[in-house]
Amino acid sequence: MKVRQKYLPHGGTNEHFPESLTCHSILELPLYSSKNVMRRRLTEAIQPETGFRA
């Protein structure tokens, strides 16, 4: 799996969730302000009722 930066045109990256491109085994992460924010977004994204979203 590759991890790459998700480019967002309008900042505010802490509000965005990661994206998964499963066909290509890529995980796109916004440039979060801290590891704790990244951990919270990833944890929320993998919850069954939430899922990955753009």
Q: Which of 48, 1, 45, 49 is nearest to 23 (CA)?
A: 1
Which residues neighbour 8 within 8 Å (Cβ) at sequence distance 6 or greater?
16, 30
8: pLDDT strictly greater than 90: no
- pLDDT exceeds 90 at position 46: no
Query: Is the pLDDT confidence value at 45 over 90?
Result: no
Residues 21-37 pLDDT 10s: 889 999 999 999 999 99
CA angle, 17 then 18 then 21, to 5°: 140
What pLDDT sits at residue 25?
A: 93
Whether pLDDT at 19 is above 80: yes
3 a catalytic residue: no
DSSP output for 1-54: -EEEEPP-TT--GGGPPPEEEGGGTEEEE---SSHHHHHHHHHHHTSTTT----
pTM of this prediction exceeds 0.85: no
Q: Out of 2, 10, 22, 23, which one is annotated catalytic?
A: 23
